[in-house]
Amino acid sequence: MGNNNDRRQPRLEDVAALAKVSHQTVSRVINNHPNVSAGTKSRVEAAIAELGYRRNTAARSLVTRRTQTIGVLASELGQYGPANTLLGVQQAAREAGYFVSIAAIKGAAANAICDAVRHLTDQGADGLIVIVPHDGTLQVLEDLNLDLPVIVVGGAGEGRLSGAMVDQKLGARLAVAHLMSLGHERIGHVSGPLDWVDGKARVDGWREELAEAGLSDELLVEGDWSADSGYRIGQQLAEQRSATAVFVSNDQMALGLLRAFGEKGIRVPEDVSVVGFDDQPESAYFMPPLTTVRQDFEELGKRCMDLIRAQVEGDAASGALVVKPALVVRASTAPRPRLS
């Protein structure tokens, strides 16, 4: 007498028969091919669910010579941006039917990058997504001369490497433009580490927006992304009273800045307006709720996967895809005080 364990696993042809489509159509749905109607995709997905079909990735890799695995090289995962970029990539990879193999490193030393890349390529990764947000990463990857697609998050997509990024410079300009629209003219900037690609781009955006308005860019202080550095810098700025508004390069440093201002009796936004960057979930609950620049990490992950899949399948040349940030206005910004 048989049981459920004796039954064979459902095949692609079984899904096609139940959905009343060709097996080529089922394959297109499984591989997220764009040329499938919504109704057909829905029928195929329902058939897959009903039969409990799971594709045979081992057999597929024998035919395509691909492993359906994307290697992700990442560093600084303790920071909000890199960590959420990785989550966005993982989510997009799952939706595209790819596995993700992660090699995490500390810092951005050339030997660490090389060792991690070698580890991922030894596993047969079809392509690499690199989330290492330091200057010099692009050059190290160029020097490796890898024979597989490489997407650099935050890179400019130059040479053989492709890039996918949030437009950091635009985000900074949105923050400064918002403060200028409120009448502020003395706008300082608390930057992230200047050896980070994103930190440098935000400084450039801050400077460019001020320059176009003929305003000074003298008040620049470098932090380290932590709330502690924001707190220490906030204490300095509270003593100087040299700005009516401050653009801070991430929400964590803005949190420390708000604490320091509060302790020194500086009211936000009545005395000084503050804008952050990232739109962390907690930023809406700061005191006061923080005006900030939102990065769409889910969309960034999708763009990375769009690029890597196209290159793995031979459908695209190198280039760059850019995700636009958005300003989120809350209660930490207000018109410039009349007496300042």
Quick one: pLDDT at residue 157?
58
Residue 340 confidence (pLDDT) above 60: no
Residue 316 confidence (pLDDT) above 70: no
Q: 160 and 78, same structural domain?
A: yes
Quick one: pLDDT at residue 1?
41
For residue range 192-228, what is the model confidence (pLDDT) as tens digits? Answer: 999 999 999 999 999 999 999 999 999 999 999 999 9
Residue 282 domain-assigned (yes or no):
yes
Domain residue limits at 126: 66-166+297-324
Quick one: pLDDT at residue 4?
44
For the chain, the domain total comes to 3
pTM of the model: 0.79
pLDDT over 70, % of the chain: 89
More confident residue, 123 or 159: 123
Confidence grade of residue 151 (pLDDT, cut at 50, 70, 90): very high
Residue 109 domain-assigned (yes or no):
yes
Q: 275 and 203, same structural domain?
A: yes
For residue range 252-274, what is the model confidence (pLDDT) as tens digits? Answer: 999 999 999 999 999 999 999 99
Q: 106 and 173, same structural domain?
A: no
For residue range 228-250, what is the model confidence (pLDDT) as tens digits? Answer: 999 999 999 999 989 999 999 99
Residue 41 domain-assigned (yes or no):
yes
Q: 284 and 136, same structural domain?
A: no
Residue 324 confidence (pLDDT) above 60: yes
Quick one: pLDDT at residue 65?
53
For residue range 289-304, what is the model confidence (pLDDT) as tens digits? Answer: 999 999 999 899 888 9
Lowest mean pLDDT among 10-14, 109-113, 328-332: 10-14
On average, the pLDDT of the chain sits at 88
Q: Where are the alpha helices (DSSP H) in the chain?
A: 12-19, 23-30, 38-51, 57-64, 80-95, 110-122, 137-144, 168-181, 197-212, 227-240, 251-263, 297-312
Confidence grade of residue 63 (pLDDT, cut at 50, 70, 90): very low
Q: 79 and 46, same structural domain?
A: no
Residue 3 domain-assigned (yes or no):
no
Residue 320 domain-assigned (yes or no):
yes
Residue 59 confidence (pLDDT) above 50: no
HSE, side-chain direction, 13 A CA sphere, residue 147: 2
Quick one: pLDDT at residue 318?
54
Lowest mean pLDDT among 13-17, 54-58, 233-237, 260-264: 54-58
Q: 139 and 201, same structural domain?
A: no
CATH of the domain at 251: 3.40.50.2300
Q: 304 and 160, same structural domain?
A: yes
Residue 318 domain-assigned (yes or no):
yes
Residue 340 domain-assigned (yes or no):
no
CB count within 10 Å of CB 339 equals 4
Asked if residues 275 and 246 have their Cβ atoms less than 8 Å apart, the reply is yes
More confident residue, 283 or 27: 283
Q: 108 and 49, same structural domain?
A: no
CATH of the domain at 25: 1.10.260.40
Q: How would DSSP label each residue in 195-262?
A: TBHHHHHHHHHHHHHHHHTT-----EEE--SSHHHHHHHHHHHHHH---SEEEESSHHHHHHHHHHHH
For residue range 125-150, what is the model confidence (pLDDT) as tens digits? Answer: 999 999 999 888 888 998 898 888 99
Residue 61 confidence (pLDDT) above 90: no
Q: 235 and 197, same structural domain?
A: yes
For the record, the structure tokens of 93 come out as: 């990879």
Residue 329 domain-assigned (yes or no):
no
Q: 199 and 140, same structural domain?
A: no
Q: 128 and 181, same structural domain?
A: no
Q: 109 and 180, same structural domain?
A: no
